[in-house]
Amino acid sequence: MGAVFAAEQLSLHTMVAVKMIHAEYTGNAEISERFRREAMATAKIDHPNVVRAIDFGPLPGGGAYLVTQLVRGRTLTNTIASGKLPWRKACDIGAQIADALVAAHGAGIIHRDLKPDNILLETREDATVVKVLDFGLARVADSAADMTPLTRLGTVMGTPGYMAPEQAAGEPTDHRTDMYALGVILWESLAGRELWDGGELSDITIRQLTQTPSALAPEIPDLPPELDRLLSQLLAREAAQRPQAARGVRDELRALANRPASALVAPTPSPQPPAPQPQSLAPPNRGLIVFIAVFAAIALLIIALWALEQ
């Protein structure tokens, strides 16, 4: 329905990204309104892990444009295709995504299309900076009264494999829908493959409702138990069983990513002091033995004389 261009902002000589809707789609009121809402949602979130909106408006020949910050980097999809990520790296990326969700949810915005294609990884010196983009399917909780809902109950909007079960079933969604998508992204980053690969939406939804995601501990021997447990919570079928806020998930992932290596190694048992050797008894006191023997003999003699007298 559109295209994205790298462009130069002439007055500041700054490179930006320009996203445009093709003119033939401007007659579709829903598409035009959704694009406008994407611009509004992006502009409402001021966060280092969210692509920043700069400008928005109509094009002279029809259509519309959205100018955003230009991010130079690979998508997370391409990164995962190169192989599974070390769990520390996956935790760092997941923590930054969760931090972006903290800001979005705080602004009343549910992304609803979180997936590796919408995650850009920008390399800066020795760090990787995550940028979340494409709020085209976002739901804004505090929309103005004149904004009519674009998604009717029972309408499925999203990407198969990353939609939570309730989203795939066309049921109401909330911030916990994004928690599920984050769980899928983390699982795929660690495994290096898709979690729910192949098939139609109905097939994927049935598997989500009937199958438990494979545990990764057998594949990743050094996977922390806390991360394995967090994955299970994020991928819970029922929204009520998932983490209820992105903030806690961010903090847990951040702590795991920054955990000192020494804390991950099983402590080496300290050597036990050698067992004390049995001490040989001191040489017996000969005088004491003689005294005891004489005393015993006298006692026996006295007893014998008494017995004879009786």
User: For 5-9, 116-120, 154-158, 268-272, which range has the lowest pLDDT when averaged over its residues?
Assistant: 268-272
Active site residue 113: yes
Cβ within 8 Å of residue 99, ≥6 positions away: 47, 49, 246, 250
CATH number at residue 42: 3.30.200.20
Same domain, 84 and 142: yes
Give pLDDT tens digits for 146-170: 445 555 444 567 888 999 999 988 8
Within a domain: residue 111? yes
Tell me, yes or no, whether 271 lies in a domain: no
Query: 266 pLDDT exceeds 50?
Result: no
pTM: 0.79
Q: Which whole number is the average pLDDT over 233-242?
A: 95
My answer on whether 57 and 114 are in the same domain is no
Domain stop point among 33, 53, 69: 69
Q: For residue range 94-115, what is the model confidence (pLDDT) as tens digits? A: 999 999 999 999 999 999 999 9
CA distances from residue 11 to 8, 30, 51 in whole angstroms, order as listed: 9, 34, 21
- The distance from CA 94 to its chain's CA centroid, rounded to whole angstroms, is 4
The active-site residue out of 113, 117, 174, 251 is: 113
Planar angle of CA 113, 214, 162, nearest 5 degrees: 5
Tokens of 30: 């829903």
CATH code, 239: 1.10.510.10
The domain boundary, picked from 69, 86, 104, lies at 69
- Structural domain that includes position 225: 74-261
Give the mean pLDDT of the chain.
85
pLDDT of residue 155: 58
Q: Kind of pairing, strands 127-132 and 53-58?
A: unpaired
